[in-house]
Amino acid sequence: MRQVGICLSILFLAVSFLTGSVWAAENKDKPARGLTMAMVYPGVVFGPEDKLKVDLLVKNTGRSDETVFFEIVEKPEGWDAQIKTYSNVVTGVFLSEDQERTLTFSAEPAGGKERLPAGQYHFAVKARTADEAMTRTATVDVTVLYEQKSQGVLKVNTSYPVLRGPSDSKFEFSLDVNNESDEDAMVNLSAKAPEGWEVSFKPAYEEKQISSLQIKANQSKTVGVEVTPPLRAEAGEYPFTVRVQTSQAKADVDLQVVLTGTYKLKMGTLDGLLSLSAQPGKKANMSLYVRNEGSAPQREISFLSFKPENWKVEFLPEKLQEVKAGEVKQIEVAITPADESIIGDYSVAVSAQGEKSNNDVELRVTVKASSTWGWIGVAIILLVIIGLAVTFKKYGRR
């Protein structure tokens, strides 16, 4: 065991000797003092929205510890530049033998501008030791590119491209027009509409009509588009195209109006007379027409009446299955006054009830005495006359 320990000691001394010799040889090759400094990326390209930051590498290549100070010796006019660690601005750094540090060189336009101005810029940083025996300079050339944006980009959109309603309504769309160029633009407005339709443009929250508007660079405006259907427009789908245009660009948006039609019923007589005569307990007939004056069909049209007590009103037919737009259909109304009705004028209201429209007419019914009572009256008069004649003849001789 003793011999093994002696051998290990000898081996350790040999390795130590060899390692020390190698280290001494390498250390002997180093200069007494040495310093390097460089931008990790001496040429970089940024966009206007980027932050200008470049890594700065500093290394002590000598056998002595060094304190190194920094100075920014070149920068464009109107720019601020500095050297930072992760969070602090530094003007110097201590480097022990063989030590290196990576710092951050940053720059920005003076005044705290958020965007980098396009162009090419040159920066230089000088490093010196405390005794100024050694100095080094590192440079970086920066290119800030112009935004690749067209000088005439327009966009137009709407949240509600389809509107629905009756044919006698006005429809108003709201459009957002975006000028995405870097220049103010005069935007012209136009529309391609179905025949007979009227289209007008209005500024947001205003009633005046316009055909163009000024939009500043990179801003947007809201435009109202008012659409008016022609008179008696039929139910259906009607497409539109609205175009916004400048001298350099244009954009289209597709819109649509869905007309459900108008609903209007009209009831009356062909000659305009709304009166008739009747006798107690007997039917009196009258013809009425029902006209669909809307632009949409009317279906399931039924009839109601408002009449004196114990009167009877009948319709033939009792219901119309469909009356198309502009169509006229005839119905018969049979009115039977109550048996106890006295002679005079009475009012009977008749109503046509459609899906989405109704119409009323008021009829004047004149109740007259029955013809039977007329003949009875004539007979009584004749009997009275005959009686008087007999009486005068009998007693006239005396």
Helix (H/G/I), strand (E/B), else coil: 76? coil
| Alpha carbons 152 and 183: distance in angstroms, whole number | 8
**Which of the two residues, 396 and 24, has the higher pLDDT score?**
396
pLDDT at 23: 43
Q: Which helix (H) or strand (E) holds 4?
A: helix 2-29
Of 388, 386, 335, the residue nearest 364 (C-alpha): 335
pLDDT at 168: 83
Residue showing tokens 């669909």: 292
Q: Per the structure block, which two tokens stand in for 111?
A: 């005044």
Q: Per the structure block, which two tokens stand in for 172?
A: 């108003």
Of 337, 334, 344, the residue nearest 368 (C-alpha): 344
pLDDT digits (tens, 9 = 90+) for 267-301: 999 888 999 999 999 999 999 999 998 878 888 99
Read off the pLDDT band of 29 (50, 70, 90): confident
| Architecture of the domain made up of 30-144 | Sandwich (2.60)
Domain 265-372 has CATH 2.60.40.10: yes
Of 337, 345, 339, the residue nearest 365 (C-alpha): 345
**Which of the two residues, 205 and 112, has the higher pLDDT score?**
205
| Architecture of the domain made up of 154-259 | Sandwich (2.60)
| Alpha carbons 64 and 33: distance in angstroms, whole number | 6
Supply the mean pLDDT for the chain.
Answer: 86
Read off the pLDDT band of 121 (50, 70, 90): very high
Residue showing tokens 């109740």: 367
| Alpha carbons 161 and 371: distance in angstroms, whole number | 70
Read off the pLDDT band of 53 (50, 70, 90): very high
The pLDDT of 47-58, averaged and rounded, is: 89
pLDDT digits (tens, 9 = 90+) for 322-340: 998 889 999 999 999 998 9
The pLDDT of 388-395, averaged and rounded, is: 71
pLDDT at 150 over 80: no
Q: Which residues contact 363 (CB under 8 A, 6 or more apart)?
A: 274, 275, 276, 286, 333, 335, 347, 348, 349, 350
pLDDT at 31 over 70: yes
pLDDT at 115: 79
Residue ranges, comma separated, of all CATH 2.60.40.10 domains in the chain are 30-144, 154-259, 265-372
Are 39 and 70 in contact, with CB atoms under 8 Å apart? no
